[in-house]
C-alpha cells in the first residue's frame, strides 16, 4: 500500500467517499466537526483506494465478523465477499472469511472455528439455510450461543433471523418476458436442485410467466449450478425444441452456450441464452452474456448494516428483506429464429 499524499490525492479520496476535498482534509488531519458516518466513509475510501491511514487515525478492530460462503470458483461469491469486507472494514470490524470446499471444512465446522475466535457476528451467504432438506436447528443453537447472524440468499421460515434476498421469482419472469418480446415461444429453464430455495423460487417464477403454455412444467431441468450442469440441461432443452433458455446462474448459461455450439448452433442466431448474477466478466464472454443482475452491492451492504444493528442490540425484524434484480441485455439474446432453424435446433 502507498502512503496518502493529501496534496495530490484528495480528489480521488473525496470522489470515492462522495464528500468534499475539505472534508477529506479535516478527517486526515484529525479535526473535529465531521459526522461519524462521514468520517467512516472517508476512512473506508482510503482502504478501498489502497492508501495507508495516517497513524493517528488507525484504530484497533471493533471486533471480528465471520463470513461463511460456499466456494470461490463462482464469481458471484467473491463479488459479495469483497463488498461485505469493504463495508465491515469501514465500520472498524475485521472480516474473517470461511470458505467451504470439497473435502474441506463443513459449514458447522467453520462456524465452530469462528465462534472459538470470538467473532461478534456471522454473515452466511447461500449456506445450508437455503437447503430445505437441511436441519435448521444449527441456527437455533448458534442463537443460543449469543452470536448474532444474518443470512443472504435462501429464505427459510424455520429460522428466526434476518434474511437478505433477491426476488428470484421476478428474475425468471424478467428473463421470460425478454425472450417473449424477442418472439421466442418455446422457452426452457436450466436451474439448480429443487431443494434449494433460490432454485425453487426461480422455477415458480418461470412457471408463472409461462402459465400452461407449451407444457411449461416439462421445460424445466434441475441440475447443478455449474458450467457442466448448464451444458447437460441445455442439451435436453434444445432436444425439446427450445429456442430460448433461461439459466439459474451465469456459469450455467456459459454451459448452455457451449451445448448449443456443439450442436452446430449459433448464439443468438439459433438459440438465445439468459444468465443470472452478472459477473463483471460477462461483457467479455463470446457472445457477451445477457443476464439478470443480482443487486450484490445493495444486498451486501444491507446484510452488514443489519448485522451491526444486531451486534449493537438494536433488534431487527426477523423477516426477509427482498431486493429487485434487473435485466442486462448483451449479445446472447436475439430475435427468435425462423421455423427452419428451430427444426435444425432439434436435430431435424
- Residue entry with cell 442486462: 328
Q: Using CB atoms within 10 A of its CB, is residue 204 exposed (0-12), middle (13-18) or buried (19+)?
A: middle
Cα distance between residue 36 and residue 119, in whole Å: 24
Cα distance between residue 100 and residue 85, in whole Å: 18
Kindly list the structural domains of the chain, giving each domain's residue range(s) and its CATH number in brackets, ordered by start. Answer: 6-57 (1.10.260.40), 63-166+295-323 (3.40.50.2300), 168-294+328-345 (3.40.50.2300)
β-bridge pairing 290-293 and 326-328: antiparallel
Which residue intervals of 91-135 are DSSP H helices? 107-116
Q: Using CB atoms within 10 A of its CB, is residue 67 exposed (0-12), middle (13-18) or buried (19+)?
A: buried
β-sheet with 121-125: strand ranges across? 93-99, 63-69, 121-125, 149-152, 163-166, 320-323
Among candidates 29, 261, 299, 306, which has minimal Cα distance to 167?
299
All residue ranges of the chain with pLDDT < 70 are: 1-8, 55-61, 212-217, 339-348
Give the CA angle between residues 71, 111, 222 to the nearest 5°.
Answer: 40
Supply the Cα-derived Rg of the chain in whole angstroms: 23
CA distances from 271 to 88, 207, 229, 308, 341 (A): 43, 20, 18, 46, 9
8 Å CB contact between 272 and 238: no
Using DSSP's 3-state secondary structure scheme, residue 295 falls into coil
Among candidates 273, 243, 74, which has minimal Cα distance to 175?
273
What pLDDT is attached to residue 5? 46
What pLDDT is attached to residue 193? 96
Tens-digit pLDDT profile for residues 217-239: 579 999 998 999 999 999 999 99
Cα distance between residue 111 and residue 274, in whole Å: 35
Cell of 72: 470461490
Cα distance between residue 34 and residue 13, in whole Å: 15
pTM, to two decimals: 0.80
Sign of CA dihedral 140, 101, 300, 293: negative
Amino acid at each position: 500500500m502507498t502512503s496518502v499524499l493529501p496534496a495530490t490525492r484528495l480528489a480521488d479520496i473525496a470522489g470515492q467517499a462522495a464528500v468534499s476535498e475539505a472534508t477529506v482534509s479535516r478527517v486526515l488531519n484529525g479535526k473535529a466537526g465531521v459526522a461519524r458516518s462521514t468520517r467512516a466513509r472517508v476512512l473506508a475510501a482510503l482502504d478501498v483506494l489502497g492508501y495507508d491511514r495516517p497513524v493517528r487515525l488507525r484504530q484497533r478492530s471493533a471486533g471480528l465478523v465471520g463470513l461463511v460462503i460456499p466456494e470461490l470458483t463462482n464469481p458471484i461469491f467473491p463479488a459479495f465477499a469483497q463488498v461485505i469486507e469493504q463495508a465491515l472494514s469501514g465500520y472498524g470490524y475485521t472480516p474473517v472469511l470461511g470458505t467451504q470446499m470439497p473435502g474441506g471444512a463443513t459449514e458447522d465446522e467453520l462456524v465452530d472455528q469462528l465462534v472459538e475466535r470470538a467473532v461478534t457476528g456471522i454473515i452466511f451467504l447461500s449456506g445450508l439455510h437455503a437447503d430445505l432438506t437441511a436441519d435448521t436447528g444449527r441456527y437455533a443453537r448458534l442463537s443460543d450461543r449469543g452470536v448474532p447472524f444474518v443470512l443472504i440468499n435462501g429464505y427459510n421460515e424455520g429460522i428466526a433471523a434476518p434474511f437478505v434476498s433477491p426476488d428470484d421469482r421476478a428474475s425468471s419472469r424478467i428473463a421470460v418476458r425478454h425472450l417473449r418480446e424477442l418472439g421466442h415461444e418455446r422457452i426452457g429453464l436450466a436451474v439448480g436442485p429443487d431443494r434449494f430455495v433460490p432454485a425453487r423460487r426461480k422455477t415458480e417464477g418461470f412457471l408463472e410467466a409461462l402459465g400452461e403454455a407449451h407444457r411449461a412444467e416439462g421445460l424445466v431441468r434441475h441440475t447443478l449450478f455449474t458450467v457442466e450442469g448448464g451444458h447437460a440441461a441445455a442439451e435436453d432443452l434444445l432436444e425439446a425444441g427450445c429456442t430460448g433458455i433461461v439459466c439459474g446462474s451465469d456459469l450455467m448459461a456459459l454451459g448452455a452456450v457451449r451445448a448449443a455450439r456443439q450442436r452446430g448452433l449459433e448464439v443468438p442466431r439459433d438459440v438465445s441464452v439468459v444468465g443470472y448474477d452478472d459477473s463483471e466478466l460477462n461483457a467479455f464472454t463470446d457472445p457477451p452474456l445477457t443476464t439478470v443482475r443480482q443487486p450484490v452491492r445493495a444486498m451486501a451492504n444491507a446484510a452488514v448494516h443489519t448485522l451491526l444493528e444486531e451486534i449493537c442490540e438494536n433488534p431487527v425484524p426477523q423477516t426477509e428483506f427482498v431486493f429487485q434484480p434487473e435485466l442486462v441485455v448483451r449479445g446472447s439474446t436475439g430475435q427468435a429464429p425462423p421455423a427452419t432453424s428451430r427444426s435444425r435446433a432439434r436435430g431435424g
